[in-house]
Chain A
Amino acid sequence: MNTLQICLWGLQIGAIYGLIALAFVLVYKATKVINFAQGSIVMLTIYLCHAVISLGTFPIWAGLLLSAGVAIGLGLAINRLFMHPLVGQPLIAPVMVTIALLGLIQGLCIMVWGDIGGCRNFDPLGISAGALHIGQIVLLKPHTLGFIVTLVLFGLCALFFKYAKLGLGMRATAEDHQVAKVLGVPVMFVFAAVWALATLISLVAGFILGSMNGLELGIWQIGIKAIAVAIIGGLDSIPGALIAGLMVGVLEQLAGAYIDPYIGGGLMDVFPLIIMCIIIYFRPYGLFGLERIERV
């Protein structure tokens, strides 16, 4: 394998990390809640999508649309059931809730879809096995699709935040809850919208992950990497999430290709975390994050 090929794959994988990190960053920016359950939410949305599609009596696009609706409903439900009751509590409470949600959702998935060691096929678009050959370089179809979708979604996000009224409201909320409220931005509605958007993005990411490798109950672990990516990017920076995602993807693939053979494999799983630890030590607010001034 040549380095260019590895880098391209890294970019494609990294785009998915970036996409999940985007969901994570959106929630963090608007609500200041670090969503540890992000990985679990990706897993749940995609299992739900699988369940919806498996009903199988309607065309694929309807299935996807329905799953999107389910995902949005999930986001709204999380916000209403678990986040809303904690308004006014110290920040640690909702964050702890997301940590507990991580387990709860996993448990739920195991209960409903668990079959030990099993991996379900998931390929509603029929692209899992496909590959594009460009000269020497081989690009797998789901990965390529994921890359493109990610770029499109980031682009849409950028437009949404720049021009849409709700987008502007979200940015205002992200900056300062009090100011946003005093200017008439419906902060609680923004919270709900952000969760819905995050679960929707989770669904897209999960859909691509599923098309890559099928469904299995370890998918949630990608959330850990996404958190690392979000932190590297600076937690409150949307472009940071994308850049950090791509960067981590490439570095991880390179590490997998060139270091793993010497140490017996598995480095790819922790490499983003190691990068994160190093970066966070030297730049506590990530690569693109905003430093805050402390006052007494």
Chain B
Amino acid sequence: MLAINNIEVKYSDIILVLRGVSLEVPDEEIVSLMGNNGAGKTTTLKAISGMLATELGKVTEGSIMFNGKRIENGDAEVTVGLGIAQVMEGRRTLEHLTVEENLRVGGYKVSGDAKKNLERVYGYFPRLRDVRNSTAGYCSGGEQQMLVIGRGLMARPTLMLLDEPSLGLAPLLVEEIFGILKSINQGAKTALLLVEQNALAALSLANYGYVMENGRVVLDGAAEKLKNNEDIKEFYLGLNEVGKRKSYREVKHYRRRKRWLG
């Protein structure tokens, strides 16, 4: 359903963030995108949803296809209408609106029965029903995370982009939220593209995984395979075997002097 084909993203026409990223999200599947800070995961999501423009970013090469339509450098408002909902990093609720109002904004593009749509979301997140009239900014972290996911769901997407839904949440809550994500995937037939740092948790949910580093995809494979891959550990903890890679301590002074003379 979604195919990213070798895209390059630049910010302000100079800063190259993504250098040839390709990935695919098949219908109704969960794909996880992992990697360190600054690897380009969030940028990839923004490139899909059309949010790059708000940060002076642009897809300069390659294409993004969604159900056969090219959507790179599209307008975020339009992309939502096509059925792609992005849940941004950091639980960005509309703080001074109530929970229900937040959800209603999420359904801005959807015509039809808002009540039914709300009920559907409350079905997935019963906890939100209990706090529907409280101000979003005063909700707990877990409720806020549920709120932003639910808000994305209000747009009735066929593909949801989730940016670090587990960030800063206690393990139990992460488990709960991941459980809900699973049921959304199965119940609503929504494909998920999940950006996560919490690799094992992500891989236990996803069917397929990609690992990014420095704006490139460096590793990909079926979740089961990745879970047992020693390289994953290295990416996250640098737990490589001794001697496999040169230590940063051993980088010689002349390495840069050499360049200076040449």
Known: A181-B54, A182-B86. Is A175-B155 also a contact (CB below 8 A)? no
Contacts of A165 in B (CB 8 A): 108
Known: A179-B88, A179-B92. Is A184-B109 also a contact (CB below 8 A)? yes
Q: Is A77 an interface residue (CB 8 A)?
A: no
Q: Is A13 an interface residue (CB 8 A)?
A: no
- Structural contact, A185 and B108, CB atoms closer than 8 A: yes
- Structural contact, B105 and A181, CB atoms closer than 8 A: no
Q: Is A54 an interface residue (CB 8 A)?
A: no
The listed residue (A169, A171, A178, A185) touching B51 by CB distance below 8 A is A178
- Structural contact, B56 and A88, CB atoms closer than 8 A: yes
B171 to chain A, nearest CB (A): 26
What is the interface of chain A mostly: helix, strand, loop, or mixed?
A: helix
Query: Which of B81, B104, B108 counts the most chain A CB atoms within 10 A?
Result: B108
- Structural contact, A290 and B108, CB atoms closer than 8 A: no
Stretch touching chain A among B16-24, B95-103, B214-222, B238-246: B95-103
The listed residue (B92, B101, B151) touching A168 by CB distance below 8 A is B101
Known: A88-B56, A165-B108, A171-B97. Is A183-B155 also a contact (CB below 8 A)? yes
Contacts of B95 in A (CB 8 A): 175
Contacts of A182 in B (CB 8 A): 49, 51, 76, 80, 86, 88
- Structural contact, B101 and A171, CB atoms closer than 8 A: yes
Residues of A165-216 whose CB lies within 8 A of B: 165, 168-169, 171-172, 175-187
Q: Is B165 an interface residue (CB 8 A)?
A: no
- Structural contact, B106 and A175, CB atoms closer than 8 A: no
The listed residue (A88, A181, A184, A290) touching B96 by CB distance below 8 A is A290
- The number of A-B residue pairs with CB atoms under 8 Å apart is 65
- Structural contact, A172 and B97, CB atoms closer than 8 A: yes
For chain A, the bracket of interface size reads 20 to 34
Residues of B178-234 whose CB lies within 8 A of A: none
A84 to chain B, nearest CB (A): 14
Contacts of B80 in A (CB 8 A): 182-184
Q: CA A168 – CA B108 in complex, angstroms?
A: 9
A131 to chain B, nearest CB (A): 42
Question: Closest residue of chain B to A290, judged by CB?
Answer: B96
Q: Is B176 an interface residue (CB 8 A)?
A: no
The listed residue (A176, A185, A186, A187) touching B92 by CB distance below 8 A is A176
In the assembled complex, 28 residue pairs joining A and B whose CB atoms fall closer than 8 Å, in A order, are: A88-B56, A168-B101, A168-B108, A171-B96, A171-B97, A171-B101, A175-B94, A175-B95, A176-B92, A178-B51, A178-B88, A178-B92, A179-B92, A180-B94, A181-B54, A182-B76, A182-B80, A182-B86, A182-B88, A183-B155, A184-B76, A184-B80, A184-B81, A184-B108, A184-B109, A184-B155, A185-B105, A186-B77
